[in-house]
Amino acid sequence: MPTVMKISPQGQIRIPKQILRDLQIAPGDYVEMDIEDGHAVLMPRKLIDPAQGWYWTKEWRATEAEVDKEIESDEVSPTFHTAEDGLKWLNAIGTHDILQRES
C-alpha cells in the first residue's frame, strides 16, 4: 500500500501506524535504510547482542513472568549449601511431587 509522506525540515518522516504494525516496529525502535534500484528500503533492526537474543523471546519472557509469580508466592525450593544436599532433597520429595508442582 503506497503512502505519501512529507519530509520535515529536519529530514524526518512520520511512519504511518499501519506500516509500523506491518513491520512490527514501535517508536524508539531502530530501522536501517538503504537504497536498492533507486528505491528507499526500510528494514527493522533490533540492537540485541545475538548471544542474548533468546532472553528477549516472548516464550522466555513468559517463563520469566511465571517464575517471578512462583517466587512471590514462596513456591521455591530451600537453599542448599551443596549439590549433594539438593540431590537429597529432590530424591526425598520424589519425581511424582516435582511433576505435580509443574502442572
pLDDT tens for residues 60-90?
999 999 999 999 998 888 899 999 998 888 8
Instruction: For 4-19, give the DSSP string.
Output: --PPPTTS--PPPHHH
Domains of the chain: 1-47 (2.10.260.10), 50-102 (no CATH)
pLDDT at 1 over 60: yes
pLDDT digits (tens, 9 = 90+) for 12-53: 999 999 989 998 888 888 999 999 999 999 899 888 777 888
Identify the band that residue 56 occupies on the pLDDT scale cut at 50, 70 and 90: confident
What local confidence, expressed as pLDDT, does residue 76 receive? 87
pLDDT on residue 96: 53
Cβ count within 10 A of residue 70: 12
